Structure 1
Amino acid sequence: MNFGFSLAGLILLVMLFVPNILWSKCPPDDYENYSKNENRILLTLERIGQVLVVPLSLFCGVDFSFDIILVIAFLLMVIYELYWIGYFRSPKTMHDMYGSFLHIPLPGATLPVVSFFLLGICANNIFLVISSIILGIGHIGIHFSHMQEIS
């Protein structure tokens, strides 16, 4: 396991944060009605995962090389960006936010979690892998419950 600044981790984080910052300016119309009902345990796991994944991604020691796992992690984030482009061009409803994209369920939640999980595997960093799992349980769990509410 290596530690050291990771340009790959930084780029993945930028790819994560930019659409989320834009989303904060135009969330779905009744998002606040759903967010006030979020499970506190899932919310806590999501926050813990976020706090751990960010620094661990920045300092996981992965540099750019042709590693198939790293390539897949970046491809997933490219798909994530395409999902957001579709959302921003849509009427921005809860259905637009939680619909599948390219047959991927909950792409706004699953794609970045899997991408950072793969970054952890590529870096051979068990802390990033575990942090991604914690993030995934909380983040995907919250989004899954929102999806169930709108169905």
Structure 2
Amino acid sequence: MGHFGFSYIGVLYLLMLFIPNLIWTRRQPEGYDFRHEHKLLVWCERVGQVGVSCCALIFTDFNLRPLTPWSLWLALSFGLMLLYEGYWVRYFRSGQKLKDFYSSFCGVPLAGATLPVVSFLLLGIYGRVILMVVFVVILGIGHIGIHWQHFRELKE
């Protein structure tokens, strides 16, 4: 299950996730409309967000440990979070259009949704916290699904 306590790595990841999203609330792309999002996807996204955030904070299994080959999971996870930050830098420097928001970054499709989901999945694997992995899968279905829905609408 996992060891209860405080995860400073979880706090770092959540800050890396939430800070750009808070900035985005004031710099949303023109024409962004969330009113027609599929209700099941929204539900999955919300449940996943709460579950992932809670898990990230309350399990010490995500904190640094002595280096082993298992540490590669954390390194890959953190690398994806750094790419996620790069995606946001590019978005904020762009014209902030819908096509910029739903773009790929470094070959990762729908990078704004895909990068953090995969990063938290790898964090869950690193910590061996099954509950985190379950919540990330639920989050991924909703979050990536919603982005995919908007991306398809943009193409039409």
The alignment's TM-score, normalised by the length of structure 2, stands at 0.93
In the alignment, what sits opposite 2:126? 122
2:107 counterpart of 1:103: yes
**What are the superposed Cα offsets for residues 93-126 of structure 1, whole Å, 9 maximum, x if unpaired?**
1000011111110010011011111111111111
Q: Distance in 2 between matches of 1:102 and 1:121?
A: 23
Displacement of 1:59 after TM fit?
Answer: 1.4
Task: Give unmatched runs, 5+ long, in structure 2.
Answer: none
Q: Distance in 2 between matches of 1:5 and 1:123?
A: 13
In the alignment, what sits opposite 2:51? 52
Q: Distance in 1 between matches of 2:149 and 2:131?
A: 27
**What are the superposed Cα offsets for residues 4-35 of structure 1, whole Å, 9 maximum, x if unpaired?**
21111110100000000000011000002xx1
Q: Distance in 1 between matches of 2:76 and 2:146?
A: 25
Q: Distance in 2 between matches of 1:118 and 1:2?
A: 17
Displacement of 1:84 after TM fit?
Answer: 0.2
In the alignment, what sits opposite 2:32? 31
2:59 counterpart of 1:64: no
The alignment partner of 2:139 has SS state of: helix
Displacement of 1:3 after TM fit?
Answer: 2.2
> Which 4+ residue blocks in structure 1 deviate beyond 3 angstroms?
none
Identity, % of aligned positions: 46
Q: Distance in 2 between matches of 1:101 and 1:118?
A: 19
Within 5 Å, give how 1:87-98 maps onto structure 2.
87-98=91-102
- Residue type matched to 1:116 in 2? F
Task: Give unmatched runs, 5+ long, in structure 1.
Answer: none
Q: Distance in 1 between matches of 2:115 and 2:50?
A: 18
Q: Distance in 2 between matches of 1:22 and 1:100?
A: 20
Q: Distance in 2 between matches of 1:53 and 1:142?
A: 17
